[in-house]
Amino acid sequence: MNILFCSVPFRPSVGGIETVSALLAERFHRAGHQVVLLTQTGSDQADADAYRVVRRPSRAQLFELVRWADVVFHNNISLRFAWPQLLLRRPWVVAHHTWIPGDGLAGRLKRFVLRRADNIAVSRALAESLPVECTVVPNPYADDVFLSADGAQRPGQLIFVGRLVSDKGVDILLDALALLAQTGQRVRLSVVGVGPEELPLRQRAVALGLEHQVEFLGRRVGGELVALLNAHQVLVVPSVWEEPFGVVALEAMACGCVPLVARSGGLPDAVGPCGLVVERGSREALARGIDTLVGKPLVLKRYRAGAAAHLERHTRDRVGRDYLQVIEDAHRAHAIQSAARAA
């Protein structure tokens, strides 16, 4: 098939959509399909991908590439890239990685045109938020990078990994640690990440008397992050907004951490039976969850027992195959409909 792959952000921009787009485009190409990737992200570097990358296409380029395509795939819907569908009616598959608002002109228009597409959502919560039927295909993680070290001692107790913004709920996590400290439980926390809330969070930790329990480690990636995850018992994801999914939970699980997450959007899907889910926005519930897990080797072992089977659903090869199945089904259904109309 000729697959026109539309991803508004793409490398060298860095983010979840960019990572998944590169992964999927490579998997589609490896499966023998002709792939052209359209993006609005510019670059000063020549693209060295096995597939063709077209950056900031003109309207004429976009129209001709949609005409060329057997299937058009949007990794997150883009109205800017969607308008040729109104004229050419190519089979169209849209993968949803975040929420589409129900108000505002752009949100209403996106929800309306999705009826013309076959839709994929990365979590059940996201699928249920949309006005169309969706196939749920969860996000992948870098399964060749995030690995558990044999015999890891895990002297660290809690670790948070993410941007330091108010949506991520680190303030509630600090409050939960303060509650535990009142009962004599001094649980240690490593905070990995940077963001505009870093200084207020540092000040809050001091105000709560947690300065000797909480360590802010800044941004860590690659091998450094893998080593940190392997050195801790529990990953905490206390988000107060509705997370569409939560790849960090998969990465932590793969490194042997047990996730403790808020009941937020797609986070329960991400952890499955391999982590503890608590009430969102509640410092008391988070404190109870920490008390349930930290320093409890048998409890942690029970949660880790199913991690390998759960993670198999999220490998890059498995997710790539699942996406291709939806795309191939959409192409096949379109061909049958076209033949019926011709008859």
pLDDT tens digits, residue range 114-126?
A: 999 999 999 999 9
- Give the pLDDT mean for 183-200: 97
Give the percent of the chain with pLDDT over 90: 92
pLDDT band at 181 (very low <50, low <70, confident <90, very high): very high
Phi, psi of 277 (to 5 degrees): -110, 130
Domains of the chain by residue range: 2-140+315-342, 156-312
Q: What is the CATH number of domain 156-312?
A: 3.40.50.2000
Contacts of residue 99, defined as CB under 8 A and 6 or more positions apart, other chains included, come to 126, 129, 242, 244
What are the structure tokens assigned to 80, written together?
A: 């800017």
Contacts of residue 204, defined as CB under 8 A and 6 or more positions apart, other chains included, come to 171, 174
Q: What is the predicted pLDDT for the residue at 284? A: 98
Give CA–CA dist 152/149, Å, rounded.
6
pLDDT per position as a tens digit, 159-176: 999 999 999 999 999 999
Pairing between β-strand 71-75 and β-strand 92-96 as defined by DSSP bridges: parallel
Contacts of residue 266, defined as CB under 8 A and 6 or more positions apart, other chains included, come to 122, 123, 124, 125, 126, 138, 243, 244, 245, 246
Give residue 169's region: left, alpha or beta (phi > 0; psi -120 to 50).
left
Q: How crowded is residue 311: how many other Cβ atoms within 10 Å of its Cβ? A: 20
User: Is the pLDDT assigned to residue 254 strictly greater than 90?
Assistant: yes
Residue among 68, 81, 70, 79 nearest 6 (CA): 81
Residue 48 parent element (H or E)? none
Q: Which amino acid is at 107?
A: G
pLDDT per position as a tens digit, 52-101: 999 999 999 999 999 999 999 999 999 999 999 989 989 999 999 999 99
Radius of gyration of the chain (CA): 22
The answer to whether 340 and 48 are in contact (CB under 8 A) is no
- Give the pLDDT mean for 136-148: 95
Contacts of residue 337, defined as CB under 8 A and 6 or more positions apart, other chains included, come to none
User: Which superfamily, per CATH, for 2-140+315-342?
Assistant: Glycogen Phosphorylase B; (3.40.50.2000)
What are the structure tokens assigned to 86, written together?
A: 């109104």
Q: What is the predicted pLDDT for the residue at 211? A: 96
Give the percent of the chain with pLDDT over 70: 100
Residue among 109, 4, 110, 6 nearest 56 (CA): 6
Range name among 144-153, 183-192, 275-284 with the lowest pLDDT average = 144-153
Q: What is the predicted pLDDT for the residue at 340? A: 81
What are the structure tokens assigned to 325, written together?
A: 């199945």
What rounded mean pLDDT belongs to the chain?
Answer: 95
pTM: predicted TM-score of the whole model, two decimal places: 0.91
User: Is the pLDDT assigned to residue 15 strictly greater than 90?
Assistant: no
What sign for the dihedral angle of Cα 324, 328, 329, 331?
positive
Give CA–CA dist 10/25, Å, rounded.
11
pLDDT band at 338 (very low <50, low <70, confident <90, very high): confident
| Same fold flag, 2-140+315-342 and 156-312 | yes
pLDDT per position as a tens digit, 261-306: 999 999 999 999 999 999 999 999 999 999 999 999 999 999 999 9
Residue among 257, 262, 214 nearest 238 (CA): 262
